[in-house]
Chain A
Amino acid sequence: MRLTPLLLLLSAAAAATDVPVDYSRDVRPIFAEHCTQCHGPDEGKREADLYLDHPDSLSSVVAPGAPDESALFYRVSSKNPRLRMPPASHAEALDPGEIDVLRRWIEQGAGWQPHWAYAPFRAVEPPRRSEPHPIDRFVRARLERAGLEPSPPADRRTLIRRLSLDLIGMVPTPEEIDTFLADSSTDAYDDVVDRLLDSPHYAERWARHWLDLARYADSNGFTIDGRRDMWPYRDWVVRAIAQDMPFDQFTIEQLAGDLLPEPSNAQLVATGFHRNTQINQEGGAKDEENRVNAVIDRVNTTGAVWLGSTLACAQCHTHKYDPVTHAEYYQMLAFFNQTADGGVSTGPRVAVTDERTRPQLEAFEARREELAALLVAAERNATAGWTAWRPRYTSASEGPELRVLADASILSVAHNPQTSLYELEGPAPIPGISAIRIDALPDFDLRELGPGRARSGGFAVSSVRVFSRATGSQDEWREHALRDPSSWEVLSPQGQPHAAAFRLAEALPPNELDLHVELAQNHGTNHVLGRFRVSFTSGVAEASVTQEWRDAWNALVAHEEERPDLPTALVMREQSPPRTTHVFQRGSFLDPGDEVSADVPAAFNHFAPQKPPGTRLELARWLVHPDNALVHRVTVNRWWQRFFGLGLVSTENDFGVRGAAPSHPDLLEWLARELVDQRFSMKAIHRLIVTSETYKQASSWRQDIAERDPGNLWLGRQSRLRLDAEAIRDSALRASGLLSTEIGGPPVQPPQPEGVFSFTQRDKKWVAEEGANRYRRTLYVRIWRSSPYPFLTTFDAPQPNVTCTRRIPSSTPLQALTLANDPMMLELTEGLARRLMKGIGSPKKRIRRAWEMALGRPPTAEEELVMLDFLQRERSRVSRSSAWSAVARVLFNLDEFSHRS
């Protein structure tokens, strides 16, 4: 059996008899790996009613101090295949080392602790050592135990390149390097750190990390993948990070900004975080299914981002390893189940304002509300004597869905059918009905303002049929004939309201009735009602649209033309009335089980005994409560991972019992606590990390570490990391001298190879920018979910369809083809070449400059020779400028260029 050296070290430690067995470190992982799939939290699948990671259950199979009297030990160590656990049919036996750990654990009293990640903060102090920086004291103490020396500090050039790439995502300029090299003060390094943390580019770089988690894109996804305006949310993230918004506030505004008292426009925009879910606009897609998928994604993303938890596993059944039950999953879902979005349309959204545009918009909205009120009044006057009906059930054949709005009008959404039969059902609103009225209502969401869904806004009702039966009965529906023919068509409605009344041959009896109304619309070419209202009367059946009504509607339309031209952003908004939430059996929304109310999983909630939270806002506040140690551990760990390539917990998205144990548990604990103590300042934690000697070490490969700590878990050196896609392109942009440093705004379209969209359903228009927008930072490049910018995917940027907590770097030939041949890259090599050719100077001097611009260091003598030779060969083949472009091209293609040491 092959063990990782880490495991060897731990086993060696645990095997030494004087070292106490630690339940969390030594025992729980054995249970999690071999036992809890059958003897775990899932009651449905639990065998022998035994839950090994639970103290009550454990006491039934363990006799503290006496392994030989413990059923647990007897079964795992048994040589009898019929008795041995785990059963031979399922898995291999535990190895002797593991059995020994269990024996000694029982001997030492079989202590149990909750899983470390779900436990409250431990009081931790940095070890007493001479190193001034607390992080170094933790790390050096651990290195010493492993018998490894730390690496010396990296040289200054490496340091500033590392800092620059990590903090602002671009290489430093030669001038920045020279300034740092010339600064002999003791604060030189700290000054660079402060300068970079204050740079607006820092916010861009770290916003990009956050957008990976937020699954940000500029389109709706799935088949149609229509455009969406999400960039105001992206800019919100950049601004929040630039001003070092405390992480608790950062969380609350994104998860529940809309529920804050009198939320600002920015706080509404912040809720775009969970509007980055996809919308399936494919014909035949169902509102509710789409909505449920979005809500589930929000639960799973929240779990991964804040709780470092694989909640998704509990969607279909109780979690196999972690203490999250099936019902608890849906309690979490209940928090997110109340928003108005999530169907196949893109609402709700807000116009994004700033100081200049806010008064404009407010004045516009105030007037619009006045006009809307006038319209309501006019409608009411015109329908006096009629009672609007709010059906309880609606259905439509051939694909569309009917949504009942607050004013009892009904909007036909989603698929636009050729023909359709609308069916409505519900209690009769008044007794003794003698006529039915249909108002066809124009709407801003309909083509040509409607009221129908045909291209012209027209509609055609082929027949109106009215049925009734006694309330609540299951009798056959009785049809009531109409006195007149019931067809009604308005093929060219001009975006105006229309009304028609149909008298019943005989009035309905005065007793309580349920009504069933059918509107057949067989005309074809989408001539179906778009928005309409059904009303009844027991009196005179006259229906007309008054001049007052038309005028009020036209005034609203005219006003809407004046709407300030502002960008909009998708936001969260609670809907009313609230929905009930049910457990979905086996994860299927078609199979609802017990009703549940919003709550957080009990195992995560060790600190908030007060009343269970109920709203998204309360959930957000619970997540970032200072005592919610798990969330703070997960957060600092992910930041750590960005600076070292690997988190202190290497499974950054799984802090559960099957996740990796922290390499430096005390450091993680201390750092998480520090986040709280530093008032949730991200910059403070980043400054703390990058000013440590641990961070500043050289990353040079070391034989002893390669042999004894191949994962570099003990941090005996820095890691050499592949740059993110964005950092590669942004660095090339900066070195080329072409970079535009403009911050924010709508997405841009730099050149991309032709035919990128040939593999998606809809050809996306991609007109390459001319001018400065061609050279904006990669953060601003438009992201179509179905066909992202190829440079990004080639260099491992995530598909923005699900949250991504860590990019896994790959090394592929397509990357080589991109860096070597992509016209966009070639354009940047020409930019760098132009800079190299400026002024007078020898080729040697220019080559030295090239190295400094691209790699932040001068070439070695050997490198210089290789490049001079190459330049000479190029000069014999091509023009001077082409030869220098070729030099720049070589530099952009070096392994060193796309890595940070």
Chain B
Amino acid sequence: MRRIARREFLRQGGVGLGSIALYHLLGSHVSGSPARALAPRAKSVIFLFMAGGPSQFELFEPKETLQRLDGKTPPSSTTDGKRFAFIDPARAQLLGTRRSFSRHGESGAPVSELLPHTARIVDDLCWVRGLETNEINHGPAKLFMNTGFGQFGRPSMGAWVSYGIGSEADDLPGFIVLQSGSRGPRGGSPLWGSGFLPPRHQGTPFRSGHEPVLNLRSPQGTDDDRQRDFFDTVAQLDRLQIGEVDESTIESRIANYELAFRMQTSTPELVDVADESDEVRKLYGIEDDGPSFARNCLLARRMIERGVRFVQLYHADWDHHGDPDNNLGEPLEQRCREVDQASAALVTDLKRRGLLDDTLVIWGGEFGRTPMGEVRLAIGRDHHIDAFTMWMAGGGTKPGFSYGVTDDIGYSVVDEKVHVHDLHATILHLLGIDHEKLTYRFQGRDFRLTDVHGKVLHQLIS
């Protein structure tokens, strides 16, 4: 008989779930988890996901050689046998940026004119400039960045973290997803799904507005007292089943209903930012009550203050190929205006509240963009998976540090390459999780977020 740990047996056997759910819901600070073998540097994660793949060449990576070779045919080593989503390798031309750059802070990190607020916090940021991913189209690449696999079926990073170390939030889900911009990210709910992990670990998407969770509002004509009476009556009747049904199952059920009732109050309170000072609202650049990336950044801070483990913000429309509505001119400028101030404010605000030390902030998309331009009506670049840039802040990462060197035109990584699997391993490590030990057996195989890959990048850790 196969040896299986009791917890896993119960979970996979689909029986006695009640007691397990209770364990996770109430005592969800799973200190004895085998996955948590290391001292954690970060308690929570805020992942600012720039959906579509922002251009590193317009934002963070000035390349003199690329400027000089603007309009020239790229070296054949960068096109022969390579995959592009749209570019025709035979006709590709290098594209120098039209944006001006300067170096900032003591660390001297280059940031373009498009991100003046980010430029002011560079000494808090840990740059990863040599990222590499496997997938070249948006859907698969977003899945890869989130689940370590280019197709559906695997759990997302937030779900793995929730499964591994639970959450410290008593009246909110442990993994929350927020969205801003014109639309949701390509790929949809599998990006925050739980795959084969128990469904309770999946991300809970919060919608914009005052009712971020579906069915959060009591039925019309039901005040708090009446709703309370309803919940109490349900619990009272459920308890009468104890004996016929095992007690922990019933208590787990009641605990869920209690959490639901608390969420009816705590969630509107969470998303109502009226109690934040004008100074804070100004810092983030929140102009009105409407949904925005800025408001989501502030909500993210409020969530991790309440113990939420993993918050992910999606901001859409970074896919600047060069169509009239989708290029490196005004559309890119607009995206930067939408996220720059609030991204920087989040880091600043966390820092001054002493929260940055144990909150890991991550900024980036599913891939970067090519050093070659596209032949379209406006200026744009194609998807690029061989070298792109993200930044992290806090949570034990080295501030004012840069890792990863790309070649003269930014096509390939020449030193300090970081594969997405390595990024995942490092994020888990910062949370105190050994990525090789955080496993789940499914169909006879022990699965990991990092599959059979991934190495922790100790160089990035302070």
Contacts and interface: CB of A to CB of B under 8 A. Distances in A.
Interface of A: 2-4, 6-7, 10-11, 25, 29, 32-33, 222-223, 225, 278, 280, 282-285, 293, 304, 310, 312-313, 320-322, 397-399, 415, 417-419, 421, 524, 590, 645-646, 650-651, 653-654, 656-661, 700-701, 706, 710-712, 719-720, 753, 755-763, 785-788, 790, 793, 796, 799, 801-802, 806, 808-818, 820-823, 826, 860, 862-863, 866-867, 870, 873-874, 877-878, 882, 886, 889-890, 893-896, 901
B298 to A, nearest CB: 19
Given A646-B13, A821-B219, A863-B240, A313 B445 contact: yes
Contact of A650 (B13, B151, B209): B13
B363 interface: no
Nearest to B8: A4
Interface string B182-193: 011111111001
Contacts of A867: 233, 237
30 contacts: A6-B1, A223-B138, A280-B139, A285-B137, A313-B445, A398-B374, A415-B86, A421-B88, A646-B13, A646-B14, A651-B443, A659-B444, A701-B246, A759-B189, A808-B11, A810-B199, A811-B253, A814-B214, A816-B257, A816-B260, A817-B264, A822-B214, A826-B219, A866-B233, A866-B237, A867-B237, A874-B226, A886-B230, A890-B237, A895-B250
B186 A282 contact: yes
Contacts of B140: 280
Given A4-B4, A656-B444, A284 B237 contact: no
Contacts of B139: 222-223, 280, 282
Interface stretch (B16-24, B67-75, B341-349): B16-24
Which residue of B4, B14, B375 has the most chain A CB atoms within 10 A of its CB atom? B14
Given A284-B86, A285-B137, A796-B199, A873 B234 contact: no
Contacts of A2: 5-6
B385 to A, nearest CB: 12
B137 A284 contact: yes
Nearest to A788: B189
A653 B183 contact: no
Contacts of A788: 189
Given A222-B187, A753-B215, A893-B234, 5 more contacts: A417-B86, A590-B83, A788-B189, A810-B199, A863-B237
A896 B250 CA distance: 10
A816 to B, nearest CB: 4
Contact of A758 (B12, B207, B237): B207
B7 to A, nearest CB: 10
B241 A896 contact: yes
Contacts of A878: 221, 226
B204 interface: yes
B213 interface: yes
Given A656-B444, A817-B215, A786 B189 contact: yes
B260 A223 contact: no
Contact of B2 (A661, A757, A896): A661
B3 A7 contact: yes
Which residue of A6, A11, A223 has the most chain B CB atoms within 10 A of its CB atom? A223
A206 B349 CA distance: 55
B256 to A, nearest CB: 5
A785 B12 CA distance: 25
A715 to B, nearest CB: 12
Nearest to B81: A590
B243 interface: yes
B39 interface: no
A818 B260 CA distance: 10
B62 interface: no
Interface in B1-56: 1-6, 9-18, 21
Given A760-B184, A801-B190, A421 B256 contact: no
B263 interface: yes
B205 to A, nearest CB: 5
A322 B151 CA distance: 23
A397 B263 contact: no
A661 B444 CA distance: 12
A809 B12 CA distance: 10
Contacts of B375: 397-398, 419
B120 interface: no
B179 A758 contact: yes
A3 B234 contact: no
Interface in B73-109: 83, 85-88, 90-91
A854 B376 CA distance: 62
Nearest to A825: B215
Which residue of A812, A817, A901 has the most chain B CB atoms within 10 A of its CB atom? A817
B256 A812 contact: yes
Contacts of B229: 870, 873
B403 interface: no
Contacts of B240: 860, 862-863, 866
Contacts of B445: 310, 313, 320, 658
B280 interface: no
B245 interface: yes
Which residue of A222, A312, A870, A901 has the most chain B CB atoms within 10 A of its CB atom? A222
B216 interface: yes
B2 A658 contact: yes
Contacts of A874: 226
Contact of B188 (A660, A760, A817, A866): A760
Contacts of B383: 284
A295 B16 CA distance: 38
Nearest to B209: A755
Contacts of A826: 219
B236 interface: yes
Contact of B208 (A590, A700, A758): A758
Contacts of A711: 9-10, 13, 15-16
